[in-house]
Homo-oligomer: A and B are copies of this chain.
Amino acid sequence: MNLRVEFHYDFGSPNAYLSHRVLPSIAERTGVEIHYVPVLLGGIFKSTNNRSPMEQFADVLNKPEYQAKETLRFLMRHDITELVRNPHFPVNTISMMRGAVFAQGKEWEAQYIDALFKAMWERGLNMADPEQIGSVLTEAGLPVAEILAAISDPDVKQGLIDNTANSVARGNFGSPSFFVNEELFFGKDKLRDLEEEIVSKLG
Contacts and interface: CB of A to CB of B under 8 A. Distances in A.
A58 to B, nearest CB: 10
A63 B173 contact: yes
Nearest to A56: B56
Interface stretch (A16-24, A44-52, A111-119): A44-52
Nearest to A174: B63
A62 B47 CA distance: 10
Contact of A61 (B59, B62, B168): B168
A186 B57 CA distance: 14
Contacts of A172: 62
Nearest to A192: B192
A192 B50 CA distance: 28
Given A171-B66, A186-B66, A61 B47 contact: yes
Interface in A40-81: 47-50, 56-57, 59-63, 65-66, 69, 73
A189 interface: yes
Contact of A189 (B61, B65, B189): B189
A155 interface: no
A121 to B, nearest CB: 23
A39 to B, nearest CB: 13
A142 B68 CA distance: 43
State the 7 A-B residue pairs at the shortest beta-carbon distance, nearest first: A48-B61, A62-B173, A50-B60, A63-B173, A62-B171, A49-B59, A49-B60
